[in-house]
Structure 1
């Protein structure tokens, strides 16, 4: 237990001060000890006591101000090293956030609340004794493509883009690279990231089977606070050799980090959408370079930014900074699924499942195979509608509809969470004739169950239809239980959203169908075609992953696509499984339009009580930037007028945004840094009294 410090040394400490407040993130405190940078301490701030991190540099307290003493030192934990502090400092600078916000959010929540005495008791608990990595012998030999990729990673510096088709065995390459790295260095550690929590159980199972339970820890927001603290301490102390996690794991303290793997690197879930809007994938690249760790980005459908960054050198182009490794073949000589396109213009009106698709589903189920239906919209229907007065189930607090959930007879807003019971009659005119419009996964599950009611499995038992989405997996352990049923063959037809379309290794699924993908074909968002293509390619990749099973069944895996636009270029690229052609076409369009990765963007967003206040703040910020002649403005940085967001109001807060574009990343960063104090000053002006918050989003994924 540490005693309070007596005032002798001036110590700079990073604390989590309010975002955009006038209080700096690095404050000066007094202590009788000369504490090393990275030391965790408890310090008073106002009437509260909170966790802080001793930072680099010398404290320079204001003249005549008596410094408050540090309350306690958490000396049971080794100081956070310079690599971690530099990562946090870079993230704060690049993403225009408060240093303390990044630093303290990167630490386990329970660590922020524990007193030194409580922490000491926690640290006295015995650690597992089998912490030495004992790698089990690999179960399968590497293919020629896997071996070539492994050798390149072993002999080159990277970063690497592992471009492997779905089912090509990228995970085995990760396992071998981790195994070789750990064997070569007895203290080395690895970080393996996946985009979503639901992908961590199967990854953790494979890594613990290979390296042992004591060597592997997970870090993600689905864990309890004690679990997160235990995993973080194991990584920080070096006891855990392998850290698995979602985007938050990029900030884990891993002192001996030598290898970083970012699986499904294209996934937008790596971009934080609340608070500090960092990209874990991009920070992984920066951290690997700064800490001397190799970085592997893996995907069957890489982001266009990573694809462009891995372009080969030509006579006119020095090439990208990543090394692209290609694994086009599936394990076991399995074929990629054949695309079957159904032109819905030729189907009866309001058809949900075309007759050919239904026949194909029935055939697969009767042979004992599994099918997957993709619809990226949960609930029973997006809206309830009255045909008499045109009433719709709008959310009273948002510019959005309340979604109809039939299972519990509720209308639920997926933006603010406001929930009401379904009315018995139209609230507008009293008509009892209110009906659902559109479809969600809940409705698809119900309709499929009815349409396939007469279909039986090979053993004579009736077909079993199940649904996996955010509604069915709320309870702890629900997702794992449902996935176990799928893997065990207890589910014949699986209906779900994008959470089942990527990363999962379903061995018996031979047919995947996307029933309503057209909504994203003509979106105003320039990234929509990329997201849709990736989603459909990834979903199709769940089919036919076990070549031996397909051969035994005597069938071929299929991806069915029901669309009103069968001639769309995305459909043509999907038909050929040709990501390369799709990427080239999209990059050419982006180049012609000066869009990322050929330009750099940031958004400034304002939330206020009224739309006038939100846009007024942004307009004033733009005018101040021009009046002050901030660096780069006009030459390299363009400011566009403020506009409302697509969903303008959420939880009674109006939202507006303003886009910045630049042909130079350094110029954009220089401008944003100079603009920050201007934005802070505007925030306190009486004209912007109704402003709730403002934020800067660097490298936004949605505009």
Structure 2
């Protein structure tokens, strides 16, 4: 007697491993298949990780698989390897990683059933072919049409009503007579029934392109320096760009490239050429391009679809959290089945399933947005590097200001550095001139407005307005003012639910917390003493917008931040106004700092940059330099010279001096030496245990207990892992939840992970609402 098959299923559960389920005879469960299984008193969706014959539990205790998803191909072994690595490295259960990575729209057994029904086909048997033509009444024209369609080709079950109102009942009768049989088409990797996609998205989905795009057609459309159908002519590459493209195209197997290019040097063109070469080499190849923010996807999508028009409507798709559930599911499925040849997305796209992923590109690889801060706290950039190595394909990390981790990898030879040190010949503008504006000197001279705008900056903006050019003011703080205060008694607008201030939003008359979203109306008088003279402290983008309306009434001012782009499509519309020249002064947060090619912006003014110079966060200066370098790059494109004015109280700070020289390499060397001397990342590896509780005492008590458990482990005895005492987070309370953390450090990544794995098994959840281990934290 053959042993019954045992499916090892991953569920979205804290349990690190898998759960065993019995596979009924005649059922073929495969690794990577979505399944529905009983778990306790409810049904849960899981993913089969393996199928074997043995279980640690007696067979009579195993529950059977309930439903198997046959609607589309199973997830591939390389995807299971990816989520398995992520689960192990980031100290999570494999199901906690695997299940959330699959869009919710594809984790619905009802949709599986609808798709599987749509795959059923009626076919005429030999007896039916002989009997049907003479068995139907002469006047039964509708029955005859149904019979003729059946004899011509198999009929889809959900296409019957268009042929005869009682088609299903008639076919059942014919099936009973032995004239008709039923077959079910297996899910194919090459195509997905468009009816399923139509069920996933609200709008109609166009029919797929009939002929697959061959590698030859892509090569013809995208041949270097040759005309393409959708563009006039490909831009001429600089020698540095050509060398970068040749290096990436010539990679054999895994290779990690750090594309270090100044702003405006044409990194995007290198990406496009590398993708074109990849797709032209293999008709099944797919490419993944990650961007740090959703608002960067529309312009990238436009360029990709224009350049790769030969791929058809569904050849290039986006994956990010701004899509509807149906759109995300349909695009994810297109990548999984290989219909989408190029996927552009934010960090969640790093965990998407591909049929044949052959090239990975991470734009602005230094951005903190690639690190997930909730749930699975993964780094999309690092997962892309691991994924490329596992698949044996190249990965490109691009940035004008690479992260110190990537910079050090390149210095050590682990990454190949590709340098773009100048702008293409078509862009005749030199790098922008960077100058500091001494705020203390301007204040002493009476040249600083109450809204924090210096006369030097205002005069420069008026010059651009007179010349018909655009200015950009960068202030990474939305709202009108960070806090509202009372001079009489010292009251300030604190959030009762967080250890933070309520931000003044004067446009809608609200005080709003940017952490828990609590809001309340602006008080008419001080809640503490009744004083009606309340004063805003500090400046946000709304306040600068109002100030410019007074001092530059003729200027067309536009603000782009999270408040002005809440509605879907609003960001694209606002950026379109900037590009069309309908804006004289653009005020924005980090949303405008990177990736945008503003042809008419010749002046960038930076406000409130000093707040990051003396932060407790050792990465703050690295982030500030990258942020300022990026926003400075928005000035001076095409043939217009650019200027950057940074308002600061510390005009001689080394960071600003390096920025004026556009010297990232020099500043990176200085930071690297500081980090090495201070034993900080990337020269040491870190992990945090974070706890959240209703009281701070509860969170700290949990961490104290966890620390005591850690000290009893063998891995703690050899001293290779240093444990620090539990402390509250800098922002200790958010949404009435108190937060604390415990830091581990080690010079050995292996020793740290051995310690984390052993420690995690000893931790319980008693006394806290949530706890989580975060590996390679970006904020401490």
Q: What TM-score comes out, normalization by structure 2 length? A: 0.83
In the other structure, the counterpart of 2:124 is none
Verify: 1:665 aligned to 2:749, yes or no.
yes
- 1:501 counterpart = 2:571: no
Name the residue aligned to 1:277: 377
Q: Helix, strand or coil for the counterpart of 2:452?
A: coil
Distance in 1 separating the partners of 2:66 and 2:519: 45
Q: Of 749, 772, 775, which aligns to 1:695?
A: 772
* CA apart distance, 1:499: 1.2
What CA distance in whole angstroms lies between the structure 1 residues aligned with 2:650 and 2:472?
22
Q: Deviations over 1:220-276 (max 9, x none)?
A: 000001101110111111111111111000111112111000000000000001111
Residue 43 of structure 1 aligns to a residue whose secondary structure is strand
Residue 277 of structure 2 corresponds to which residue in structure 1?
180
Question: Which of the residues 561, 567, 570 maps onto 1:475?
Answer: 567
Match of 1:147 in 2: 242
Contact 1:50-1:112 at 8 Å conserved across structures: no
Deviation at 1:75, TM superposition (A): 1.0
Offset at 1:601? 0.5
What residue in structure 2 maps to residue 595 of structure 1? Answer: 680
- State whether structure 2 residue 423 is matched by structure 1 residue 330: yes
Q: Which residue matches 2:336?
A: 236
Q: Who is 1:103 aligned against?
A: 98
Distance 1:351 1:466, change over 3 A: closer
Please tell me the root mean square deviation across aligned C-alpha atoms, in Å.
Answer: 1.6
| Residues 1:633 and 1:175: Cα distance change in structure 2 (over 3 Å) | farther
1:135-174 per-position Cα deviation (integer Å, ceiling 9, x unaligned) = 4535211111100111111223520000000000001101
Matched, 1:39 2:30: no
8 Å Cα contact 1:374-1:497 kept in structure 2 = yes
Q: 1:129 aligns with which of 206, 210, 219?
A: 210
Counterpart of 1:209 (choices 306, 316, 339) is: 306
Aligned with residue 69 of structure 1, among 64, 87, 105: 64
| Structure 2 partner of 1:28 | 21
**8 Å CA contact 2:495, 2:501 repeated in 1:** yes
Q: How does 1:404-553 map to 2 (within 5 A)?
A: 404-453=504-553, 462-546=554-638, 548=639, 550=640
CA contact (8 A) 1:259 1:288 kept: yes
> How far 1:8 moved relative to its partner?
4.7
Offset of residue 505 of structure 1:
1.6
Write the distance in 2 (CA, Å) between the matches of 1:23 and 1:195: 30
Question: What are the superposed Cα offsets for residues 495-514 of structure 1, whole Å, 9 maximum, x if unpaired?
Answer: 01111101112121111111
Distance 1:469 1:359, change over 3 A: same
Q: Distance in 2 between matches of 1:301 and 1:415?
A: 28
In 1, the alpha carbon distance for the partners of 2:107 and 2:209 equals 25
Distance 1:131 1:387, change over 3 A: farther
1:57 offset after TM fit, Å?
A: 5.3
In structure 2, what is the Cα distance between the partners aligned to 1:226 and 1:131? 24
Say whether the 8 Å CA contact 1:398–1:649 is kept in structure 2: yes
Deviates most, 58-67 or 487-496: 58-67
SS in 2 for 1:347: helix
Secondary structure of the 1:678 match is coil
| Structure 1: distance between partners of 2:44 and 2:211 | 35
Residue 47 of structure 2 aligns to a residue whose secondary structure is strand
Counterpart of 2:734 in structure 1 is: 650
Shift of 1:347: 1.4
Q: Give, in angstroms, the shift of residue 65 of structure 1.
A: 4.4
Equivalent residue, structure 1, for 2:164: none
Secondary structure of 2:381's match?
Answer: helix
Quick check: 1:630–1:674 contact (8 Å CA) kept in 2?
no
Query: Structure 1 residues 422, 118: CA separation in 2 closer, same or farther (over 3 Å shift)?
Result: farther
Tell me how far 1:24 sits from its aligned partner: 5.0
Q: 1:506 to 1:53 in 2, by over 3 A?
A: same
Task: Work out the CA distance in 2 between the residues paired with 1:633 and 1:442.
Answer: 55
2: distance between equivalents of 1:285 and 1:82? 18
Tell me which moved more, 385-394 or 26-35: 26-35
Structure 1 residues 128, 407: closer, same or farther in 2, change over 3 A?
farther
SS of aligned partner of 1:694? strand
Spell out, residue by residue over 1:422-451, the C-alpha distance to the aligned partner (whole angstroms, 9 max, x if none).
111111111111111111111111111211
Q: Distance in 1 between matches of 2:260 and 2:708?
A: 45
1:15 shift after superposition: 1.4
CA distance in structure 2 between the partners assigned to 1:696 and 1:622 by the alignment: 13
The 2-side partners of 1:273 and 1:415 are apart by 14
- Indicate the residue corresponding to 1:4 in structure 2: none
Runs of 5+ consecutive residues of structure 2 not aligned to the other structure? 119-191, 196-206, 223-227
1:297-376 map, 5 Å: 297-311=397-411, 319-332=412-425, 333-348=428-443, 350=450, 352-376=452-476
For 1:337 and 1:177, the matched residues in 2 are separated by: 28
Distance 1:154 1:322, change over 3 A: same
> What is the CA–CA distance in structure 2 between the aligned matches of 1:519 and 1:538, rounded to whole Å?
18
Output the TM-score relative to the length of structure 1.
0.92
Deviation at 1:282, TM superposition (A): 0.3
Change (3 A) 1:145 1:24: closer
Name the stretch that deviates more: 37-46 or 488-497: 37-46
Query: Judging changes above 3 Å, is the alpha-carbon distance between structure 1 residues 123 and 26 closer, same or farther for their aligned structure 2 residues?
Result: farther
Question: 1:610·1:653 contact (CA, 8 Å) conserved in 2?
Answer: yes
Q: Does structure 2 retain, via aligned residues, the 8 Å contact 1:163–1:300?
A: yes
Number of aligned positions between the proteins: 664
Structure 1 residues 581-631: Cα deviation after superposition (integer angstroms, max 9, x where no partner): 0000000000000111110001110001111111111111111111x2331
Superposed displacement of residue 130, structure 1: 6.0
Provide runs of 4+ in structure 1 moved above 4 Å: 22-25
Paired position in structure 2 for 1:9: 5
| 1:585 is aligned to 2:701 | no
Shift of 1:101: 1.0
Superposed, 1:221-300 pairs within 5 Å as 221-300=321-400
| Cα distance, 1:487 vs structure 2 | 0.9
- Kindly tell me: are residues 502 and 633 of structure 1, through their superposed partners in 2, closer, same or farther at Cα, counting changes over 3 Å? farther
Give SS of 1:542's match: coil
User: 1:159 is paired with a residue of what secondary structure?
Assistant: strand
How far, CA to CA, are the matches of 1:90 and 1:152 in structure 2? 29
CA separation in 1, counterparts of 2:40 and 2:738? 32
Q: 2:319 aligns with which of 199, 219, 224?
A: 219
Segment drifting more, 600-609 vs 207-216: 207-216
Match of 1:315 in 2: none
* Runs (5+) with no aligned partner, structure 1: 1-6, 312-318, 454-461, 551-555
Larger deviation, residues 103-112 vs 84-93? 103-112
SS at match of 1:635: coil
